[in-house]
Amino acid sequence: MEARSVAGVGALLLIFAGFAGAAFAEDSAIAIRAGHVIDTSAGTTTGAQVIVVRDGLIVNIGPDVPVPTGARVIDLGAYTVLPGLMDAHTHLTIDQRNQDPLAELEHTAAERAFGSIPNARAVLLAGFTTVRDLGSYRALVDVALRDAIDRGDVIGPRMYVAGAYVTMAGGAGAVTGFAPDVLLPWDLRYGAANSPEEVRERVRMLASQRVDVIKMFATGAVLTHNSNPAGREATPEELAAGADEARNFGLKLAVHAHGAAGIKAAIRAGAASIEHGTLMDDEGRALMKQHGTYLVPTLEVRECVGKNYPQEFVSKAQQTMSAQLANFRKAVQAGVKIAFGTDIGVCRFGTNAREFSLMVENGMTPMQAIQAATTVDADLLGVSQKLGSISKGKLADLIAVRGDPLQDIRLLEDVRFVMKEGRIYRED
């Protein structure tokens, strides 16, 4: 019996190895015959194109490009091909089975790490080849997931991670609602900071752990116990310290902000992006234009705060976020730079593309919404030189949908082909 068990395990390992090889190995050139290509840099759609991919890069593209000898040819003549989509606000390590942050006390960091593997896979297969993951209650679990994906251990999008939430003790980015005599483990209070000096210390510690972005909280939050989303939390001095220290390490600062006062304080402090921007006023929009700050609106969240959430969170969502769509429309009209981000993890993983229809219904054109998830996100993340458009020399992140998403933006919710860095992960 023991010998048969060992043999069975060996067979399973061989099967897994075969699957991994099929998913990850693309050594020779690939020639994609695309029916249409969305040029996100120019904001136009081209006709039939041949896209040649080798060693993870786009090496040629054009209507008359020859197919290299021996190349694998993929016929997407009935499809529209786009750059791999980007989501600038995700939480891939969230436990979606229980949306109360107190559930973090029921699990170890190892459980959160293993539990995030299917989340990452679902997001990639939905066509999102790059994400900016803005924090984990369990500090540095997102760093571990990013590195596992980079090594090829698990399937997922390219990740740019924050490592932990930089928040005041008991603030919007903390686990709250437990008895005061309970001492949290280190990784659930890693980002706590209560002065400009402590903010600088936290940023330095996170930078030493190889994070890609710093995430701070300027206001309270909807999905935190005993927190007022409209209320200020981080002081202007703390926000300025976070932005300055992040710059010292070549990092950008993303700031969670619902309330108008917190939004304006974060912009003035030097935040690269405002996350949510729910209660933004006219002065805030003018400041965003003046400073070139990006708005990452996360509109779909309001549709997903429901039965899996404490009633306190549902009530706050209904009260606070009712103004969000109107303020988003005003931001579009004002010409604020809008990047695509979903806060996925609140909504089901892999449904990221539902954000597009809300953006279009509330003032953006389909092309603007697609650019928000490609060229604009690439600019926000500082990766425009290698991502965001289908151009010679850029990484071969490509997706395809059947039909024209400029006519029906919801087609992006049904991606049929996914390539990340020259490797095919979905080919329906």
- For residue range 284-298, what is the model confidence (pLDDT) as tens digits? 999 999 999 999 999
C-alpha dihedral (83, 84, 89, 93), degrees to nearest 10: 180
167 and 65 in one domain?
no
For residues 227 and 358, state if they share a domain. Answer: yes
Provide φ and ψ at 278, rounded to 5°. Answer: -60, -45
The pair of three-digit structure tokens given for residue 218, joined into one six-digit string: 């300027």
Are residues 55 and 29 part of one domain?
yes
Residue 147 neighbours by CB under 8 Å, 6+ apart: none
Helix and strand numbers (H, E) in the chain are 14, 17
How many whole angstroms separate alpha carbon 325 and alpha carbon 279?
A: 10
404 CB-contact burial (10 Å; exposed 0-12 / middle 13-18 / buried 19+): middle
Q: Which of 146, 90, 138 is nearest to 117 (CA)?
A: 146
Burial class, 248, CB count within 10 angstroms (exposed 0-12 / middle 13-18 / buried 19+): exposed
**SS3 call for 288:** helix
Predicted confidence at residue 18, as pLDDT, reads: 40
Rounded Cα–Cα distance for residues 140 and 138 (Å): 7
pTM, entire model: 0.92
The pLDDT assigned to 296 comes to 98
What angle do helix axes 141-151 and 117-125 make, rounded to 10 degrees? 60
> Phi, psi (5° rounding) for residue 138?
-80, 105
Supply the CATH number for residue 247's domain. 3.20.20.140
- Answer yes or no: do 347 and 209 share one domain: yes
User: Given this model, what pLDDT does residue 17 score?
Assistant: 39
What's the pLDDT at 349?
Answer: 96
Considering the domain architecture, whether residues 420 and 284 belong to the same structural domain is answered as: no
* Whether residue 122 is found in the same domain as residue 259: yes
DSSP 334: H
DSSP code, position 167 = B
Domain that holds residue 281: 85-381
Question: Following CA atoms 360, 361, 363, 369 in sequence, which dihedral angle do they give, to the nearest 10 degrees?
Answer: -10
Domain count, the chain: 2
Residues recorded for the chain: 428
If asked whether residues 59 and 104 sit together in one domain, one would say: no
Residue 68 and residue 92 share a domain: no
**Domain co-membership, 302 together with 265:** yes
Q: Assess whether 257 and 223 both reside in one domain.
A: yes
Chain centroid to CA 380: how far? 12
Locate 92 and state its tokens.
């891939």
Q: Please work out, in degrees rounded to the nearest 5, the angle formed at the alpha carbon of residue 94 by the alpha carbons of 193 and 270.
A: 40
Nearest to 86 by CA among 234, 255, 296: 296
Cα–Cα distance list, 111 to 143, 160, 364, 413 (Å):
15, 21, 40, 29
DSSP codes, 93-140: T--TT---GGGGGGS-HHHHHHHTHHHHHHHHHTTEEEEEE---SSTT
Judge whether 61 and 49 are in contact, CB under 8 Å. yes
Structure tokens at 152: 């090829």
- Residues paired with residue 423 on neighbouring β-strands, in sequence order: 420
From residue 307, alpha-carbon distances to 100, 218, 337, 346, 354 in Å are 11, 27, 33, 12, 19
* Structure confidence at residue 19 (pLDDT): 41
DSSP annotation of 419 reads: E
CATH number for position 406: 2.30.40.10
- Residue 249 sits in the same domain as residue 211: yes
CA distance 119 to 116: 5
Q: How many CB atoms lie within 10 A of CB 325?
A: 17
pLDDT tens per residue, the chain (428 residues)?
344 443 444 444 333 434 444 443 445 899 999 999 999 999 999 999 999 999 999 999 999 999 999 999 999 999 999 999 999 999 999 987 777 888 888 889 999 999 999 999 999 999 999 999 999 899 999 999 999 999 999 999 999 999 999 999 999 999 888 888 988 999 999 999 999 999 999 999 999 999 999 999 999 999 899 899 999 999 999 999 999 999 999 999 999 999 999 999 999 999 999 999 999 999 999 999 999 999 999 999 888 887 778 889 998 888 887 799 999 999 999 999 999 999 999 999 999 999 999 999 999 999 999 999 999 999 999 999 999 999 999 999 999 999 999 999 999 999 999 999 999 999 98
Report pLDDT for 5.
41
What gap in Å lies between CA 67 and CA 70, rounded to an integer? 8
Residues 92 and 79 in one domain: no
Nearest to residue 242, comparing CAs of 216, 221, 263?
216
